[in-house]
Amino acid sequence: MESAQSDGSLPPVASPRRGSRWWRRLRQNRTAIAAGLVLILIACGAAVASWVTPFDPNLGGSLRDGLQGPSQRYWLGTDQVGRDILTRVLFGSRYALLAGIQATTIALVIGVPLGLTMGYYRGWVDRLLLRFVEAAVALPAIVLALVIVSVAGPGLTRAMMAIGLVYSMVIARLARGLVIVAREEVYVDGAKTVGNGATRIMWRHILPNIAPALIVQTTLLFATAVLAEAGLSLLGVGASTNQASWGRMLADARNSLNESIWPAIPPGLAVFATVLAFNTLGDGLRDAFAREARGGRLGIATVTARPTSTAPTSPPSDPDSMMSVRDLEVAFPAIDGPGDVRVVQDFSLDVGRGEVVALVGESGSGKSVAAMSLVGLVPDPGRATAGSIMLDGQELVGLDFESLRNVRGTKVGYVFQEPSAALNPAFTVGRQIGESLREHAGMTKSQARRRAIELLDRVGIPDPHLRIDSYPHQFSGGMAQRVVVAMALACSPRFLVADEPTTALDVTVQGQVLDLIDGLRREFGLSVLLITHDLGVVSDLADRVAVMYAGQIVESGPLHEVFRSPGHPYTEGLLLAVPRNVRRERSLPTIPGVVPPPAEWPTGCHFGSRCAYVEPECHTSAIGLTVGQRQVRCRRADELTLVGIDRPTSRGIS
Amino acid sequence: MTRPLLEIANLNVTFRGRRSILPWRRGRDVQAVQSVSLTIGAGETVGLVGESGSGKSTVGRAILHLLRPDSGTIRLADFDVTAFGRREPDGYRRAVQVVFQDPVASLNPAMVVGQIVGEPLGLHYGMKRAAQRRRVAELLVQVGLQPDHADRFPYEFSGGQRQRIAIARALASEPDLIVLDEPVSALDVSTQSQVINLLEDLQSTTGAAYLMIAHDLAVVRHVCQRILVMYRSRIVEEGSSDDVCERPAHPYTELLLASIPDPNPEVQREKARHRRELAVENAKPVATTGCPFAEHCPHTMDICLTTFPEPTQLPWGSRVSCHLYNQGETRDPRGSK
C-alpha cells in the first residue's frame, strides 16, 4: 500500500526511505529505546572515566578508608583496600565494552565469511565444515577459554579471543542458514544473469539482506561476552589485578565478603544492567527488522451500523435477494498521520437467489476486502460500517461476534485462490470437512464422515471413500480446489463467496472448476459472489457483473449489457486491454498510469486522472452511482458511447 | 541462410531426487525437459507455452546457464553454453538477459534502482559512477520511468513499475536475446497491456530477440511470431502464431485454446461447450516413453501409450508430435470436429 505513484508524475514530497521504516518501528518500541540509552550512558561513562573522578582506580587510599559505605567523598563507598568503587565501576565499563568488542569482532571476521561460503557453495566443503562448526558450538565457550588461558597464560584479550572463536561458529552457522534460504531468491538468479561472480553475489547481494539477523545475533553475543568477561575475571583468568574490570571487582569483593557484602553490589548491578540492556536492544532490533510480520491477519470485527445522517441516499435493500448490502464502508487507520483511509466506499450490491454476480477489479481495488467485510471478516486494524447487510432475510449489521460466526458457519461458504492455503496440511481432508459439520450441524463423527464422502463425490473427486483419508498435499491443484469447494458446501450454505477460485490453477483445469461451481448453482440454487480480475472467467460464469475501481463500484448490470456497451470509461479500458485470441492488428490499447494508493484517492472521480474523456467538472465533487438495473458512476454516462466486447479493435482509448 | 541466434538441440534436463543412503527415502528423478529443440533468429520473438510443470521455465534457465542440462546443446551466437565450466565467459552474460515473473522477488530489496540497473554497466563496460548514472537515467526514461527514480528502493514502486525496472536492467548490457519468463502474468490487466507494448516498442529500437515463456496463449499470440507448445517436458507442437492458434494440430493445443475463456459471453458459451467435449480421462496406463497427453486425449490409440511420436511437418508449416499425423493421412483439426 505504500508504493505506487502514478507513472511519470511523482509526488514532490520525499517518500520514506527503507532505513526510516525500521527506524520508525524501533522508535515505537520504548523499552528498546530505553535500553539503547542505558548503553549510551555506559559507553559515555567508559569514555570520560578518567576525567570525572578524582581517584585512581587501582591505587587505594589509606587502609583507614577500606570498606566504607557510600558517603559524600566516596559516592559508592570503597573496597577492601580503600579504592573508590564508583571510579572502579566506571573504569570497569571500559573492560566490559572492550571484551565485548574483541569477542564480537573476532566472531564476525571469522564467522561471516565462513558462513557465506558454506551456505553459498554447499557441497562437500559445507558438509565438512559444518561438522567442525557443530562440534565447536557444542563446547561451552567458557571452558574453551579456560583451556586456552591455562595453556597460553591468563589475560583478558586471550580469554576473549577464545570466546570470540566459539562465537564465530555461532555466527557462521546462522549466516549459513540464512544464505541457504537467500540464495534461492529470484534476485540472486537475476544477479547471476547480469554477470556477477560468486564473491560479489555473496558480499554485495546476499549479505545486505541477511545483515539484520546477524546484527541482532551480534548484539546478543555482545551481552554474553560481557558476562563471560565477568565470569573469567572472577575466576582470576581474565582481567589482571591492575585492571579494574567488573569481574575483577567481584573477585576482590569475594575476598572481603565476610566483612561487607556492599563492594559486590555496584559491579554486580553494572553487569546486570549492561547485559539486560543489550538483550533488550537485540530483541527490539529483531522486532524492528521483521518486515510487516504483523500484517495480513483476518480480524474478527463485526460490522457496525452506519450513522444514517452520513449515508448517501440509495434504495432500500431488496428483500427478495439472497444478499443485499447498502452503503458498506471499510476504513483503515492511516499508516502515517492521523485519520482513516477508506478503502471501500459507498458499496451497495445485490445478489439474487441462484444468481452468480461477479465483482471485477484490479489488485487494490478493494474487491476482496469488501466481500470479506460483508460477513464481518475485516482485515485486522480495519473497521466496517454499513447501512444494511441482509443475508437470506437476516440483518447482519449490529450482530455480535458469536451470531456472526454462526452465520458464517452455516449460511456462507468460501472458496479462496490458493487451495493449499485453505487446507491445513496436518489433517486429512475428511477431518477438515467433517470439522464444520460437527461444529455447526451437530453431526456425530460417523455421520460427518458419510456426509464428507458424499460431498467429495459431488465435487467430482474419484474414489471419495479412499481419498477422504488423504492429506491435502496428495491432491493436485485442481483436485485440492475441489476439496475446498466440498468444504465450503459442507453445511449446505445458500451463499458462496469465491475469491479468485481459479487464478492459481492451470487453464485446462480452470474450466472444470468453473463448471463445478456452475453445476452447484443449478443443482442447489446457490447464490455466488465471484471475485476475479479475469474478464474471461466472468463471461463464463456470471449473470451480472459489478466493476470496482479504487474502492468504488463504478458500474454494474447484467453481464451481456455491461460487456457489450459499457457505461464507464474504466470498463471500456479493461475490455480493450485484454489480449484476445485474435489475429494481431496493432498494439494493445492501454489505460495510462496506475491505480493510485487509497490515501491519494480524490473526492471527485477516482478514475479521473487516467480517463480519456475527463472534464474539469469531473474532479470537483463526489460522483454518485446511477439508480436502476444498470448503474454507472460517471458524470458523462449519458453522453458517451463506449466500445464494448463486440468491436475489440475498432477504437482505442489512448 | 544465416545461422539463427539461438539453437537448442535435443535438450534433456533431469531434476535429481533426494539423495539418501536409505533406498526407500530416495526421491525419484524427474525428467523436466526431454528432447527439446528450438531456434530463435536475430530480432525474432518466439513464445514457449505450457502449463505449470511443463518444463518451459527450465528451458529458459538452461539458456541462462542457471542449471546444467544432462545432454543436448545450446548455442547462442558464438557461445556453446553446454561447454561452459562453472563460470561462464563475461561476454555471454552480456549477450543474454532475463526478466522474471515476480517483480517483487526479482529485484534485490537492499539496493536502490540506480545500483540495480547500473550494475551490469559496471560489470560489462567498466563504467564509472558518473557515467553509470547518466546511462541509468537514459534507460529509466526508455522504459517509461524518471531519472530521479534511481535513488529509490524497489518497494517504493508498484508491480508494473518494478517490471519496468527489471526490463531496464535487462536492456543495460544491450543483449542479443532476452528471456521473458512470464513477464506479465503477475500484473493487472491494465498494467499488463502497458508492459506488453513497452516490450514491443523496445524490441523495435534495440533489435533484441525475445524468448517469451508464458502460460497465456492469447498474450503470447499477440506478442510472438512463432509459438512452441510444451506439455510435460516435451514440445508437442510448433508453428507460426496464427497457425498454432487458428488450426491447432495437437489435441493438447486444441484443449488449451478451448480452455482460455473469452470476455465475450456468446463466444465463451461456444468455447465452454467445446472445452467440455474435449475433456476426457483415459484409464489405460501410459508408459514413460509414451505420449504424456495420452491420459487426457480424446483420440488415444494403443501406440500412444508406449511411444512418443517423432515430429511431423504439416502442409501449412506447423510441426506436430502426434500419432494422428503419422499415418500418412493429414487430419485437419478444424474440419474433423
Average pLDDT over residues B74-86: 89
How far is Cα A454 from Cα A436, in angstroms, rounded to an integer? Answer: 15
| Grid cell listed for A542 | 456470471
- Cβ–Cβ contact B126 with A under 8 A: no
pLDDT tens track for B44-64: 999 999 988 899 999 999 999
Q: In this structure, are B61 and B210 located in the same domain?
A: yes
Comparing CA positions, the residue from A491, A194, A277, A64 lying closest to residue B174 is A194
Residue A561 has pLDDT above 80, yes or no: yes
State which of A492, A517, A534 marks the end of a domain: A492
Cα separations (Å) of A250 from A62, A239, B99?
A: 21, 11, 63
Output b/e per residue, B154-178; b: 16+ Cβ within 10 A: bbbbbbbbbbbbbbbbbbbbebbbb
Domain-ending residue, one of B246, B274, B300: B246
Residue with cell 547485559: A275
At B146, list the grid cell.
524518471
Total H helices, total E strands in chain A: 22, 13
**Closest by Cβ to A362, choosing from B51, B188, B258:** B188
Residue A644: closest C-alpha in chain B: B264
Which DSSP category does B23 fall into?
A: G
Indicate whether A72 and A131 sit together in one domain. Answer: yes
Scanning every residue of chain B, which has its alpha carbon at the shortest distance from the alpha carbon of A571?
A: B190
CA distance A209 to chain B (A): 6
A572 and chain B: CB distance < 8 Å anywhere? no
**Grid cell locating A146:** 579456560
* Shared domain check, A172 and A226: yes
Under DSSP, is residue B91 helix (H, G, I), strand (E, B) or coil? helix
Residues 6+ apart with CB under 8 A from A110: A164, A165, A168, A171, A172
Vertex B287 angle, CA B332 and B256, to 5°: 40
Judge if B222 and B276 occupy the same domain.
Answer: no
The answer to the question of residue B185 being in a domain is: yes
pLDDT score of A340? 87
> Which residues from chain A sit within 8 angstroms of residue B259, using beta carbons?
507-508, 510-511
Q: Enumerate residues 509 to 528 of chain A having a beta carbon within 8 A of any beta carbon in chain B.
A: 510-512, 514-515
Asked if A584 and B215 come within 8 Å (Cβ–Cβ), the reply is no
In a domain, A356, yes or no: yes
- In this prediction, residue A469 has a pLDDT band, given cuts at 50, 70 and 90, of very high
Report CA dihedral (B130, B133, B135, B137) to the nearest 10 degrees. Answer: -150
Q: Which residues contact A20 (CB under 8 A, 6 or more apart)?
A: none
Q: Which of residues 1-20 of A touch B (CB under 8 A)?
A: 2-4, 7-8, 10, 15, 17-18
Nearest to A362 by CA among B189, B311, B330, B204: B189
Residue from the list A540, A563, A581 with its beta carbon closest to the beta carbon of B218:
A581
Q: What mean pLDDT comes out for the span A252-271?
A: 87
Closest CA of chain B from A93, distance in Å: 35
3-state secondary structure of B54: coil
Quick one: pLDDT at residue A299?
A: 56
CB B243 within 8 A of CB B318: yes
User: Judging by beta carbons within 10 Å of its beta carbon (0-12, 13-18, 19+), is residue B78 exposed, middle or buried?
Assistant: exposed
| Residue B284 confidence class, pLDDT cut points 50, 70, 90 | confident
Look at A187 and B108 and tell me if their CB atoms are within 8 Å. yes
| Contacting B residues, span 262-321, partner chain A, CB-CB under 8 Å | 262-265, 268, 272, 275-276, 279
Q: Which residue has the cell 505513484?
A: A5
Last residue of a domain, one of B228, B246, B264: B246
pLDDT, tens only, A337-361: 778 889 999 999 999 999 999 999 9
CA distances from B7 to A385, B39, B40, B42, B97 (A): 61, 5, 7, 11, 16
Question: Which residues touch A198 (CB under 8 Å, ≥6 apart)?
Answer: A120, A121
Q: B284 and B173, same structural domain?
A: no
The helix/strand/coil state of A411 is: coil
Which helix H or strand E contains A299, and what residues bound it? none
Reported as a single tens digit per residue, the pLDDT across B203-244 is 999 999 999 999 989 999 999 999 999 999 999 999 999 999
Q: Are A353 and A272 in the same domain?
A: no
- Kindly report the number of other CB atoms within 10 A of residue A286's CB atom: 17
Q: Which residue has the higher pLDDT, A319 or A626?
A: A626
Q: Is residue A166 part of a domain?
A: yes
Pair B109, A185: CB distance under 8 Å: no
Q: Which residues contact B127 (CB under 8 A, 6 or more apart)?
A: B118, B121, B135
Distance (Å, whole) CA A512 – CA A510: 5
The pLDDT value given to residue A62: 64
pLDDT at A481 over 50: yes
Residue B154 Cα distances to A51, A319, A424, A632, B157, angstroms: 49, 49, 33, 36, 6
d(CA B197, nearest CA chain A) in Å = 6
- What is the SS3 assignment for A70-92? CCCCCCCCECCCCCEHHHHHHHH
Flag whether A144 is in a domain.
Answer: yes
Matching residue, cell 522486532: A287
pLDDT tens-digit series, residues A160-197:
888 899 899 999 999 999 999 999 999 999 999 999 99
Q: How confident is the model at residue A294 (pLDDT cuts 50, 70, 90)?
A: very low
Which of A506, A584, A588 comes nearest B197 by C-beta? A588
Residues B151 and B299 in one domain: no
**Of the candidates B278, B270, B268, B332, which has an alpha carbon nearest to the alpha carbon of residue B300?**
B278
Q: What is the residue type of A16? A: P
Amino acid type, B84:
F
Number of domains in chain B: 2
Q: What is the mean pLDDT of chain A?
A: 85
Position A422 scores a pLDDT of 84
In a domain, A642, yes or no: no
**Does any domain span residue B4?**
no
Alpha helices of A122-155 — where are they, by DSSP H?
123-138, 141-152
Q: A100: domain range?
A: 29-289
Q: Which residues contact A307 (CB under 8 A, 6 or more apart)?
A: none
Residue B34 domain-assigned (yes or no): no
Query: If contacts are CB pairs under 8 Å, which of residues 150-189 in chain A contact chain B?
Result: 185-187, 189
Q: Do B189 and A540 touch (CB under 8 A)?
A: no
CB contact under 8 A, A508 and B256: yes
DSSP category for residue A201:
I
* Distance in angstroms (rounded) separating the CA atoms of residues A510 and A507: 5
| CB-CB under 8 Å, A195 with B90 | yes
Closest-CA residue of chain B to A645: B264
For A500, left (φ over 0), alpha (ψ -120 to 50), or beta? left
Residue A7 has pLDDT above 50, yes or no: no
Strand partners of residue A552: A549
B111: in domain: yes
H/E element, B274: helix B265-278
Q: What is the largest CA-CA distance in chain B?
A: 67
- Strands of A396-543 (E only): list them: 412-415, 495-499, 527-532
- Is the CB of B194 inside 8 Å of chain A's CB atoms? yes
Backbone angles phi, psi at A563, to 5 degrees: -75, -30
Residue A496 dihedral angles phi and psi, to the nearest 5°: -120, 130
Contacts of A192 in chain B (CB under 8 A): 64, 66
**A563 to chain B: which residues are within 8 Å by CB?**
263-265
Statement to judge: residues B134 and B189 lie in one domain:
yes
CATH number at residue A145: 1.10.3720.10
In a domain, B334, yes or no: yes
| Residues B236 and B265 placed together within one structural domain of the fold | no
The answer, yes or no, to whether residue A295 has pLDDT greater than 50, is: no
* Mean pLDDT, rounded, for A514-530: 92
Distances (CA, A) of A365 to A201, A342, B159, B162: 38, 11, 14, 19
- Asked whether residue A312 falls in the same domain as residue A252, the answer is no
> Does one domain contain both A371 and A231?
no
Instruction: Give the global pTM.
Output: 0.86
Give B273's contacts (C-beta < 8 A, 6+ positions apart).
none
Based on the fold, state whether residues B228 and B286 are members of the same structural domain: no
In this complex, is the C-beta atom of B180 within 8 Å of any C-beta atom belonging to chain A?
A: no
pLDDT at A557: 95
Average pLDDT over residues A592-620: 90
Do A72 and A169 reside in the same domain of the chain? yes
Is the pLDDT score of A14 beyond 60? no
Q: Could you say which of B93, B258, B263 has the minimum Cβ distance to residue A194?
A: B93
Where is average pLDDT lowest: A84-98, A282-296, A343-357, A612-626?
A282-296
B155-187 pLDDT tens trace:
888 888 999 999 999 999 999 999 999 999 888
Whether A22 is covered by a domain: the verdict is: no
Is A581 close to B193, i.e. CB distance below 8 A? no
Residue B13 C-beta-side C-alpha neighbours within 13 Å:
29
Residue B124: list chain A partners with CB under 8 A.
Answer: 195
Is residue B15 assigned to a domain?
no
Instruction: Kindly state whether residue A1 falls inside one of the protein's structural domains.
Output: no
pLDDT of B22 > 90? The answer is no
User: Does residue A223 sit in the same domain as residue A311?
Assistant: no
Specify the DSSP element, H or E, that contains B227: strand B226-231
Domain boundary residue, one of B211, B246, B281: B246
The pLDDT value given to residue B72: 94
Predicted confidence at residue B87, as pLDDT, reads 79
Q: Do B148 and B271 belong together in one domain?
A: no
Q: What's the whole-number average pLDDT of chain B?
A: 90
The CATH code of the domain that includes A388 is 3.40.50.300
| Model confidence at A440: pLDDT above 70 | yes
Find the CB nearest B119 among A194, A512, A533. Answer: A194
Report yes or no on B252 lying in a domain: yes
Taking the Cβ of residue A563 and every Cβ of chain B, the question of whether any pair is shorter than 8 Å is answered with yes
DSSP A26: H
AA letter at A155: G
Q: Tell me, yes or no, whether A13 lies in a domain.
A: no
Cross-chain Cβ contact B263/A536 below 8 Å: yes
Work out how many domains chain A is built from and give that number.
3
The predicted-structure confidence for A538-554, as pLDDT tens digits, reads as follows: 999 999 999 999 999 99
Domain end position, chosen among A238, A255, A289: A289
| Residues sharing a CB contact under 8 Å with residue A350, sequence separation 6 or more, in sequence order | A317, A318, A321, A323, A324, A325, A357
Chain B hits for A574, CB-CB cut-off 8 Å, are 189-190
Quick count: other Cβ atoms within 10 Å of Cβ A337? Answer: 8
* Same domain membership, residue A423 and residue A279: no
Q: What is the pLDDT of residues A216-260, one digit of tens each?
A: 999 999 999 999 988 888 888 877 777 888 988 898 888 888 888
Considering the domain architecture, whether residues B255 and B273 belong to the same structural domain is answered as yes
Please identify among residues 91-130 of chain A the ones whose CB lies closer than 8 Å to any CB of chain B. none
The yes-or-no verdict on residue B326 having pLDDT over 90 is no
Identify from B115, B167, B262 which residue to disrupt to test chain A contact, counting A C-beta atoms within 10 A and taking the largest count. Answer: B262
Which of A136, A191, A75 minimizes the C-alpha distance to B166? A191
Chain A contact present for B253, CB below 8 A = no
What is the structure's pLDDT at B25?
67
- Shared-domain flag, residues A280 and A318: no
pLDDT score for A71: 79
Length of chain B measured in residues: 337
* Cα distances (Å, whole numbers) of residue A559 to A346, A543, B8, B267: 22, 6, 46, 13
Is the CB of residue A446 less than 8 Å away from at least one CB of chain B? Answer: no
B84 pLDDT exceeds 50? yes
Question: Looking at residue A35, what is its pLDDT?
Answer: 92
Residue appearing with cell numbers 452506519: A306
**Which residues on chain A are in Cβ contact (under 8 Å) with B246?**
583
**Residues near B158 by beta carbon (within 8 Å), at least 6 away in sequence:** A3, A4, A594, A595, B191
Q: Kindly tell me the sign of the dihedral angle through the C-alpha atoms of A490, A492, A495, A501.
A: positive
Q: Do B153 and A17 touch (CB under 8 A)?
A: yes
SS3 state at B312 = strand
Of A185, A195, A363, Cβ closest to residue B93: A195
pLDDT by residue (tens digit) across A621-646? 899 988 888 999 999 988 999 988 87
Claim to verify: residue A76 and residue A180 sit in the same structural domain: yes
CB contact, 8 Å: B93 with chain A? yes
Q: Could you tell me if A419 and A450 lie in one domain?
A: yes
Side-chain half-sphere of B98: how many Cα atoms within 13 Å? 30
Domain span holding position B324: 247-337
Residue bearing cell 575483577: A248
Best of A1, A3, A206, A559 to substitute, by most chain B Cβ atoms within 10 angstroms, is: A3
Q: B215–A507: do the CB atoms touch at under 8 Å?
A: yes
Closest CA in chain A for residue B241:
A583
pLDDT bin (cut points 50, 70, 90) of residue B328 is low
Same domain, B235 and B303: no
B290 & B213 share domain: no
Residue B12 lies in a domain: no
CATH of the domain at B90: 3.40.50.300
Mean pLDDT calculated for residue range A570-595: 88
Handedness of CA A24, A26, A30, A33 (dihedral sign): negative
For residue A307, what pLDDT band results from cuts at 50, 70 and 90?
low
Residues A231 and A318 in one domain: no
Decide if A402 is inside a domain. Answer: yes
C-alpha cell at A649: 479493435
Q: Which of B66, B191, B192 shows the shortest C-beta gap to A192?
A: B66
Contacts of B107 in chain A (CB under 8 A): 187, 190
Domain co-membership, B236 together with B253: no
Per-residue pLDDT of B242-267, as tens digits, reads 999 999 999 999 999 999 999 999 99
